[in-house]
Amino acid sequence: MSVENLLKNCEEFEWDKGNELKNWEAHIVKRTEAEQVFFNQPLLVFDTYSQNNEQRFLALGVTSSGRFLTIVFTIRKKKFIRVISARDMSRKERKAYEKQN
């Protein structure tokens, strides 16, 4: 199943309090900002790697206020998006994102 189809089946977000705090302290990214990326277009999603038998994905997208973010996430139980990391896009990522759009 493609990443896009997996995302279509997701019903909600699942947050680990440690990851939520880490994203705020290290990158000043609020939980709501990270979630907005999944609802705004364009959204680029890449299947990246597995860690501890869990598939990780990389998303490049924009918040409702126009902030360009990179999100590392996994999908749990085929219905929860679990954000692992959220940060501003690097120059290289932003260039790739803008090129695709």
CATH superfamily of 3-100: Ribonuclease toxin, BrnT, of type II toxin-antitoxin system (3.10.450.530)
Distance CA 38, CA 31 (A): 12
Please state, in angstroms and rounded to a whole number, the distance separating the CA atoms of residues 88 and 32.
14
98, amino acid identity:
E
Tens digit of each residue's pLDDT (9 = 90 or more) over 65-94: 999 999 999 988 877 999 999 999 999 999
pLDDT on residue 76: 84
Q: Does the model's pTM come out above 0.75?
A: yes
pLDDT, one tens digit per residue, over 47-71 is 777 777 788 999 999 999 999 999 9
